[in-house]
Amino acid sequence: MTAVDFAGFFDRLAQDSGEVILPFFRSHIGVEDKSIPGTARSFDPVTEADRAAETVLRRLIGAAFPNHGIIGEEFGNQNPDAEYVWVLDPIDGTRSFISGVPMWGTLIGLMHHGVPAYGVMNQPFTRERFRGDGQAASMSHADTAPRRLHTRACTTLEQATLLTTSPTLFPERERALYQAIEADARLVRYGCDCYAYCMLASGHVDLVIESGLQPYDIVALIPIIEGAGGRITNWQGESAARGGNIVASGDPALHDQILARLNR
Measure the CA–CA gap between 68 and 175, rounded to whole angstroms: 38
Write down the pLDDT at residue 2: 46
- Burial class from Cβ neighbours inside 10 Å (0-12, 13-18, 19+) for residue 96 reads buried
The answer to whether 133 and 28 are in contact (CB under 8 A) is: no
DSSP state of 8: H
The answer to whether 242 and 262 are in contact (CB under 8 A) is: no
DSSP state of 219: G
Measure the CA–CA gap between 129 and 15, rounded to whole angstroms: 10
The answer to whether 34 and 44 are in contact (CB under 8 A) is: yes
Per-residue pLDDT of the chain (264 residues; tens, 9 = 90+): 445 677 899 999 999 999 999 999 999 999 998 877 655 457 888 999 999 999 999 999 999 999 999 999 999 999 999 999 999 999 999 999 999 999 999 999 999 999 999 999 999 999 999 999 999 999 999 988 999 999 999 999 999 999 999 999 999 999 999 999 999 999 999 999 999 999 999 999 999 999 999 999 999 999 999 999 999 999 999 999 999 999 999 999 999 999 999 998
Write down the pLDDT at residue 35: 78
Q: Do domains 6-148 and 157-262 have the same CATH topology?
A: no
Measure the CA–CA gap between 86 and 108, rounded to whole angstroms: 7
Q: What are phi and psi of 51, to 5 degrees?
A: -70, -40
Write down the pLDDT at residue 42: 74
CATH of 6-148, one of 3.30.110.40, 3.40.50.80, 3.30.930.10, 3.30.540.10: 3.30.540.10
Closest CA to 221 of 145, 149, 142: 149
Number of Cβ within a 10 Å radius of residue 220: 33
Measure the CA–CA gap between 25 and 48, rounded to whole angstroms: 11
Write down the architecture of domain 157-262 according to CATH: 3-Layer(aba) Sandwich (3.40)
The answer to whether 228 and 201 are in contact (CB under 8 A) is: yes
In the chain, what are the domain boundaries?
Answer: 6-148, 157-262
Write down the pLDDT at residue 43: 80
Number of Cβ within a 10 Å radius of residue 196: 26
For residue 230, give the amino acid letter: G
The answer to whether 118 and 172 are in contact (CB under 8 A) is: no
